[in-house]
Amino acid sequence: MRRSRFPLIVCILGMLFFYLPILVLIVNSFNASRFSTVWGGFSLKWYALLFQQDDVWHALRNTMLIAVSATTVSMVLGTLAAFALHRFHSRLQDAHYTLVYTPLVMPDILMGIGLLLFFAALRIPLGLGTIFIAHVTFCVSYVAMVVLARLQDFDFSIVEAAQDLGAGPWTILWRILLPLLAPGILAGGLLAFSLSVDDFVITFFVSGPGSTTLPIKIYSMIKYGKPPLINALSTLILCVTFLLIWVSQRLREKRA
């Protein structure tokens, strides 16, 4: 049967559409000229300038602080939630499921304004603490869903076998459940981490003076000038992202 070429063409055009803008951005970060369509020769001067921007590095520090702490807490909360949702079927779990699921489909801006109003009503000052709370809140659902999906593939007869052989609940938890589910929990954590590092909208609503994160810094750079600097910063971020994707891909291949 002769197949239509149309899907192939859509696929190729789609890939160009996805990757050309990013490619132009990377190339331009090495452009000595300020203007994106004028090639002024190869240069690393924007990178040199970037390394002198203390506020960017301060923002990066805040971002990492929040991402690491929010990921840790949401991995614990999310894994517990997934266990509960998988193991029990009751009214409580119906409500629990709705609570976990709704943040996934809720537009960011609604979550942002809701948390801002919540903190304003309670007169809680905005800062790193409120950003941390906000990030845990949206990360929990993602971790829970990833772990829940893994639990559905999990063979619980192993647990029964362990029980028959006399293992207590803590032994089962530490020697069987956690080691076997670790890849799923880590995958959820990785997702939570990348969401936290990248979040702009919610963070923007709940951040206060002095709690600028990297996305907020990038946003103000986009709004108020210095395109070549953003090119250089973006290229660095993209490199780190690609490296992480490559590593996680390698890890997955090794397991398979």
Q: Are 111 and 134 in contact (CB under 8 A)?
A: yes
Q: What are phi and psi of 89, to 5 degrees?
A: -130, 100
Candidates 78, 126, 184, 212; binder of another protein (CB under 8 A) is 78
Q: Give the type of residue at 74.
A: S
Give the tokens for residue 129: 């603490």
Site string for another protein, 119-148 (x = CB under 8 A): -xx-----------xx-xxx-x-x-xxx-x
Candidates 67, 116, 126, 229; binder of another protein (CB under 8 A) is 116
Spatial separation of the C-alpha atoms in residues 89 and 122, rounded to whole Å: 35
Candidates 32, 65, 167, 251; binder of another protein (CB under 8 A) is 167
Binding flag, residue 44, another protein (CB under 8 A): no
Please report the beta strands in 3-122, taking only residues with DSSP state E, as ranges in sequence order.
none
Binding flag, residue 200, another protein (CB under 8 A): yes
Site string for another protein, 46-65 (x = CB under 8 A): --------------------
Site string for another protein, 234-253 (x = CB under 8 A): x--xx--xx-xx---x----
Binding flag, residue 201, another protein (CB under 8 A): yes
Candidates 105, 125, 157, 209; binder of another protein (CB under 8 A) is 105
Spatial separation of the C-alpha atoms in residues 101 and 88, rounded to whole Å: 17
At how many degrees (to 10) do helices 214-223 and 54-87 cross?
130
